A and B are shown apart, each in its own frame.
Chain A
């Protein structure tokens, strides 16, 4: 037996140091089984408290070791925002100057591990300076679909009669901001757009 090791305790050790009010009838096996610490000498209680804390600490470390990565794993991907993608909207030739037309694009988006496609539309026309204007089809007021009225030369939203000029500026009605323009790019005679959705009902153009 090495000198650091405390000598084995006998039941009689405890009998002598136990507070009299506990009146423990202990034999050696009971002392070893007891987990409450009652009737142990002060030094032994301290040792047990130390182990109790250490075990609690180990349990806490393991619990955190599970909880943190698993919560990140389960929650983080759900908060990811999709970045907009450039989409091919067809030949530029189909657009006339100052004549808005509704064009369709095939939106392919990731749904988990799947790739799903949907058709989305937007309004577009060529500007006299040779550029292209592409407008989100969603009214910035409350998200209705608006229409181009050829005879009047303006966009009108049927829901609340917001009226917009060719360039998207608000002419009348409750819309809080002009129509939302998409970024456009022309490559080899083909039109590319960057469709995005913006928060409805507010003056600022905030991407969703």
Chain B
């Protein structure tokens, strides 16, 4: 034993030496950790690692949820209730998975934003961006399939709407909807295939693509700052400073998710009831902007908006690295930066609008709720559509409260043709009290306060 070397150093070295002798690990570890970062380590580069960490969190908590979960309509809801109420720390583990999913969407958003802002998708990193977009799509598929698994009202009806949207694609839509649904109607086969896709197919695909994403990263190297001078001035290996920064943010994110998981119960509505078509479904927040957008789309554009818009958006995402030949600096990319800002503005506006609408609906509960039940009992949805639910034969009533007043509505209910000549709407034969209640509901359907 030489001077200054403690015994544990020796054992550590000798153990490493033993494996090293056989597997030759030292150069591999050096290669993994010594990846040079142009311009040096930075807090702005942490989001990829954070996303990867959150994916690992989803994988681990998901495996443990599967210990108690049963993917059939008879037991799915009960088993999730069991996890929530009876399993030790069940609510917490489900919370880590539920809120971790949301955190992951945020991390992906920030990761993409950083990549986009820094022009890091530009040559030679186009393949990395392409794989990244594929990963984003798979993550959305994770969200969509996972949402159904608790088999509660929210899950059932949001999925119903989602799959029906798919069904509106011309020619192939109905077949696609059937394949996704596992048949004509939602049921046991829908749940079992969503489960299989969520816990087996998607993890396998995502695992492969993450490996590919990282492999490409190691082949092309990290992009570094968009300022060439800064990028060239300094190079710093990935270890230890960048790894440390990643670790600090990962710890912060883990603590944040754990605190939310411990304090905020994950949502679980009533058991799915396929006959209760009055349930107004709402998708998870990361799909909300699209859901809200559909409310602003006039009826005849709806089919395009449902299918064309997402296809267009995804197409643009894939095309991003192949558009524009300029440099990486934001100032050199006015169109790209402008389009990005516009997109984010629209998305945040739509999310805010949806939240505001929810608040309004919650505040106006009571009589309007009765009115809503009457609306359903009278079969108004056979012709009218409210926020995407119902047939678009008559006028869309999503914002009828902005357009009509009480008197007009009551007169119109009693004798539609007297108010709107030539209207095909039948008179509503109901007692005055019911008409008042129905009117209260109509008046609650507003865009804003």
- Do these two chains really belong together in a complex? yes
Q: Which residues of A contact B (CB under 8 A)?
A: 74-75, 77-82, 111-114, 116, 118, 142-145, 158-161, 174
- The proximity string for B residues 382-406 relative to A, scoring 1 for CB distances below 8 Å and 0 otherwise, is 1100000001010000000000000
Q: Which of B182, B193, B275, B426 is close to A161, meaning CB atoms less than 8 Å apart?
A: B426
A74 contact set on B, CB distance < 8 A: 179, 193
Q: Is the CB of B379 within 8 A of A158?
A: yes
- Closest chain A residue to B182, Cβ basis: A78
Report yes or no: B192 in contact with A159, Cβ–Cβ below 8 A.
no
Q: Return B383 CB to nearest CB of chain A, in Å.
A: 6
- Complex Cα distance, B179 from A77, in Å, reads 9
A111 and B73 contacting across the interface, CB-CB below 8 Å? yes
Are A113 and B188 within 8 A (Cβ)?
yes
**Shortest Cβ distance from A208 into B: residue:** B184
In the complex the two chains form, is B184's CB within 8 Å of A159's CB? no
The CA-CA distance from A88 to B74 in the complex, in Å, is: 27
B185 interfacial by beta-carbon distance below 8 Å = yes
Chain B 149-184, CB-CB to A under 8 Å as 1, else 0, gives 000000000000000000000000001001101111
Chain B 417-446 interface mask (CB, 8 Å, partner A; 1/0) = 000000010100000000000000000000
CB within 8 Å for A159 and B383 given contacts A77-B183, A78-B178, A78-B181 = yes
**A145 to B185 Cα, complex, angstroms:** 20
CA of A152 to CA of B262, assembled, Å: 64
A185 → chain B, closest Cβ, in Å?
25
> Cβ of A113: which chain B residues have Cβ within 8 Å of it?
188
Do A160 and B424 touch across chains, with their CB atoms under 8 A apart?
Answer: yes
A145 to B178 alpha-carbon distance, docked (Å):
26
How many whole Å from A96's CB to the nearest CB in chain B? 26
Contacts of B189 in A (CB 8 A): 77-78, 111-112
Q: A112-B183, A112-B189 are in contact. List 5 more A-B contacts (CB 8 A).
A: A78-B189, A79-B178, A80-B183, A111-B185, A160-B426
Kindly report which residue of chain B lies nearest to residue A80, judged by CB atoms: B183
For the complex, give the distance between the alpha carbons of A30 and B108 in Å. 45
Complex Cα distance A35/B341, Å? 49
A144 to chain B, nearest CB (A): 4
B contact residues around A114 at 8 Å (CB) = 72-74, 187-188
A142 and B382 contacting across the interface, CB-CB below 8 Å: yes
Q: Nearest Cβ distance between residue B160 and chain A, in whole angstroms?
A: 15
What are 21 pairs between A and B in contact, CB < 8 Å? A74-B193, A77-B182, A77-B189, A111-B188, A112-B183, A112-B188, A116-B187, A118-B275, A142-B382, A142-B383, A142-B391, A144-B379, A158-B426, A159-B379, A159-B382, A159-B383, A159-B426, A160-B393, A160-B426, A161-B426, A174-B424
Q: Which residues of B contact A118 (CB under 8 A)?
A: 275
